[in-house]
Chains A and B, each alone.
Chain A
Amino acid sequence: MTQPIRLALPANECLPQLKAQFGACGLDLQALDETVVLELPDIIEAPLEVLLLPDADVGTYVERGVVQAGVVSTHLLHERDFDVWRPYTFEFGRYPIVLASRRGQTLASLTARPLLRLATPIPKFTREWFVARGFNIEVIPVDSSPRKAVILGLADGFVDRLVSAEDLTNFDFHALERMGKTSLKLVVNSALSAASRKAIQSLILKLEEQRPHDVPEVSIPFDIEDAV
Chain B
Amino acid sequence: MVESPQIAPALEQSVGLRRELTFQAMRVFSGWGYRELQIPLLDYFDSVKAGLDADAVERTLRFVDRRGDVMMLRTDITPVITKILTYQLDSGRVKVPVRVSYANKIVRLDRGNERSIRESYQLGTELIGVPGLTGEIEVFLVALELLDRLGIRDYQFNVADHGIAQHLLTQSGAPSRIRDIVHDAIVARDPYGVRSILTDLGIRQQYVDAVATLADLEGGLHQLQTLQEILPDDKKLRGRLENIRTLFATLSALGYKRRIRIDMAELGGAGYYDGIAFNIVSETIGRSLGRGGRYSNLFENFGRKQVGIGFALSAEAMAEKLRPKAFEAAGGTPRVDEIAIDGGDMVEGFREALALRAHNRPARIVPEEK
Contacts and interface: CB of A to CB of B under 8 A. Distances in A.
B217 A124 contact: no
A188 B220 contact: no
B218 A197 contact: yes
A193 B287 CA distance: 11
A194 B219 contact: yes
Given A85-B189, A86-B189, A86-B190, A190 B287 contact: yes
Indicate the member of A80, A85, A189, A190 with the most B CB atoms within 10 Å.
Answer: A190
A65 B218 CA distance: 17
Nearest to A67: B286
Nearest to B196: A89
Contacts of B23: none
A154 interface: no
Contacts of B217: 85, 87, 188, 197, 200-201, 204
A87 B215 CA distance: 8
A88 interface: yes
A89 B215 CA distance: 14
B188 interface: yes
Interface in B281-324: 281-288
Contacts of B112: 80-81
Interface in B204-234: 215, 217-220
A23 to B, nearest CB: 22
Classify the interface of chain A: helix, strand, loop or mixed. mixed
Contacts of B132: none
A66 interface: yes
A65 B285 contact: yes
A3 interface: yes
Interface string B111-122: 111000000000
A191 B282 contact: yes
Interface in B163-221: 188-193, 215, 217-220
Classify the interface of chain B: helix, strand, loop or mixed. loop
Indicate the member of B112, B286, B288 with the most A CB atoms within 10 Å.
Answer: B286
Nearest to A80: B112
Contacts of B283: 3, 65, 189, 191-193, 196
Contacts of B188: 84-87
A189 B283 CA distance: 9
Interface in B241-293: 261, 281-288
Interface string A196-216: 111011001000000000000
Contacts of A148: none
B54 to A, nearest CB: 16
Contacts of B60: none
Interface in A169-228: 185, 188-194, 196-198, 200-201, 204
27 contacts: A63-B286, A65-B285, A66-B286, A80-B112, A81-B112, A84-B188, A85-B188, A85-B189, A85-B190, A86-B188, A87-B189, A87-B190, A87-B215, A89-B190, A89-B192, A89-B193, A123-B113, A190-B281, A190-B287, A191-B283, A191-B285, A191-B287, A193-B156, A194-B156, A194-B220, A197-B218, A200-B217
Interface of A: 3, 63-66, 79-81, 84-89, 123-124, 185, 188-194, 196-198, 200-201, 204
